[in-house]
Chain A
Amino acid sequence: MEKFEPVIVAFCCHYCAYTAADMAGSQRLPYPTNVKVIQVPCSCKVDALHIVKAFEKGADGVYVAGCLEGDCHFKNGNEKAARRVEYVQKYLDEIGIESERLEMVMMSAGMGYRFAQVATEITEKIRKLGPSPIKTATAL
């Protein structure tokens, strides 16, 4: 079997994780190319539909990266995003997609190292889980 390279979609808040990704770049910190970063104005901008569509279109894992607790540029968008992620995790279970494939993470703009670490950890976790059941079913 061909080596499985997971496709991971990372919705990154402009005020923290997206800037942290830049920071990781300027610090020359490597992270897996499996992670496809999508910049959003706030983690709360990420709708349940965006996440579900990502899985439908072939993502093996998705994570939403928002600001640290209490640090949201828009007051509490990150908390709302976390609740939404929890809601979608339950929906994924109903569909038959392991909810571990979706995660909410928090970091600040200065945490370049954490960005790279999270990207690596999630990629490895999804690699262990294997291809998403949707991808497998589509390939049949």
Chain B
Amino acid sequence: MITAERKPLEELIEYIKPFKRILLLGCNECVTVCSAGGRKEVGLLASGLQMAMLKSGNNIEIRQHTLERQCDPEYVEELVPMINDADAVMSMACGCGVQEIAMRFKDKPVFPAVNTTFMGASERQGVWAERCQGCGNCLLGETGGICPIARCAKQLMNGPCGGSVTGKCEISDDVDCAWQLIWDRLKSLGLEERYMEITPAKDWRSGGGSGPRKIIREDLAE
């Protein structure tokens, strides 16, 4: 899923200061799962903003709404009846959701309430870790199901480097060395010979190196 974290309240207040009526939007997808921008977080932020503004002598009106998915135009259309009652929109969705709103409602200022962080998985309740960087050419089949692009600080294609000490990365004792993990996993699978193969330098064009990417499925596209 895409993970995100709420921006500091101070920054959000700066965004909405000039406006009186705010439409605060959540999204029922990834940001709900990572507890950053679902219905509950929208309620919490609305309440916090309301109180912080009240304290500084500004009475604002915040309307809350959570869309099923904010990165699809079909769901964004649902906002048409309420958009005119708002001077500005603040979105707790990921960057994709925020941009979808900005594209659909061209005359409305739209502000992000979260910092979209990474594509990750939940390690345990309340902990998310980066697992994928969307490089467009998945290597997991070669690396025992562990991604050196997302999980190695140097994105080495042939590791580990000299900074790998007792299975940990030199950047922090909290970070596992991805190449140690890859080696351990290949060994346990009896696939050590895979490790001996030298992987050539990665072609980053599929990973955004040649500009914004797009997927077109001819059978589905209208």
| Residues of chain A at the chain B interface (Cβ within 8 Å) | 47-49, 52-53, 55-56, 91, 94-97, 133-134, 137-138, 140
Residue of A whose beta carbon sits closest to that of B50? A56
Q: Which of A53, A95, A96 has the most CB of B within 10 A?
A: A95
CB under 8 Å from chain A, chain B span 68-108: none
How distant is the Cα of A58 from the Cα of B53 in the complex, in angstroms? 15
Residues in A whose Cβ lies below 8 Å from that of B57: 137, 140
Of the stretches B18-26, B41-49, B193-201, the one at the interface is B41-49
How distant is the Cα of A111 from the Cα of B149 in the complex, in angstroms? 56
How distant is the Cα of A94 from the Cα of B10 in the complex, in angstroms? 8
12 contacts between A and B (CB under 8 A): A47-B40, A48-B40, A49-B44, A56-B47, A56-B51, A91-B9, A94-B48, A94-B52, A95-B52, A97-B51, A133-B55, A137-B57
Q: Which of B48, B54, B55 contacts A52 (CB 8 A)?
A: B48
> Shortest distance in angstroms between A95's beta carbon and chain B's nearest beta carbon?
5
Residue of A whose beta carbon sits closest to that of B54? A137
Residues in B whose Cβ lies below 8 Å from that of A96: 51-52, 55
Contact between chains at A49 and B43 (CB < 8 Å): yes
| Residues of chain B at the chain A interface (Cβ within 8 Å) | 8-10, 40, 43-44, 47-48, 50-52, 54-55, 57
Give the interface SS of chain B, mostly helix, strand, loop or mixed.
helix
Contact between chains at A94 and B40 (CB < 8 Å): no
How distant is the Cα of A47 from the Cα of B47 in the complex, in angstroms? 13
Residue of B whose beta carbon sits closest to that of A47? B40
Contact between chains at B44 and A55 (CB < 8 Å): no
Contact between chains at A48 and B44 (CB < 8 Å): yes
> Shortest distance in angstroms between B219's beta carbon and chain A's nearest beta carbon?
44
Contact between chains at A95 and B48 (CB < 8 Å): yes
Q: Which of B10, B40, B47, B57 has the most CB of A within 10 A?
A: B47
> Shortest distance in angstroms between A44's beta carbon and chain B's nearest beta carbon?
12
How distant is the Cα of A87 from the Cα of B170 in the complex, in angstroms? 31
Residues in A whose Cβ lies below 8 Å from that of B51: 52, 55-56, 95-97, 134
Contact between chains at B40 and A91 (CB < 8 Å): no
5 new A-B contacts, CB < 8 A, other than A49-B40, A52-B47, A95-B48, are A49-B47, A56-B50, A97-B51, A134-B54, A137-B55
Residues in A whose Cβ lies below 8 Å from that of B47: 49, 52-53, 56
How distant is the Cα of A53 from the Cα of B50 in the complex, in angstroms? 11
Residue of B whose beta carbon sits closest to that of A134? B51
How distant is the Cα of A13 from the Cα of B8 in the complex, in angstroms? 32
Contact between chains at B54 and A138 (CB < 8 Å): yes
Residues in A whose Cβ lies below 8 Å from that of B52: 94-96
Residues in A whose Cβ lies below 8 Å from that of B50: 56
How distant is the Cα of A140 from the Cα of B55 in the complex, in angstroms? 10
How distant is the Cα of A131 from the Cα of B74 in the complex, in angstroms? 47
Residues in B whose Cβ lies below 8 Å from that of A55: 51
How distant is the Cα of A91 from the Cα of B8 in the complex, in angstroms? 10
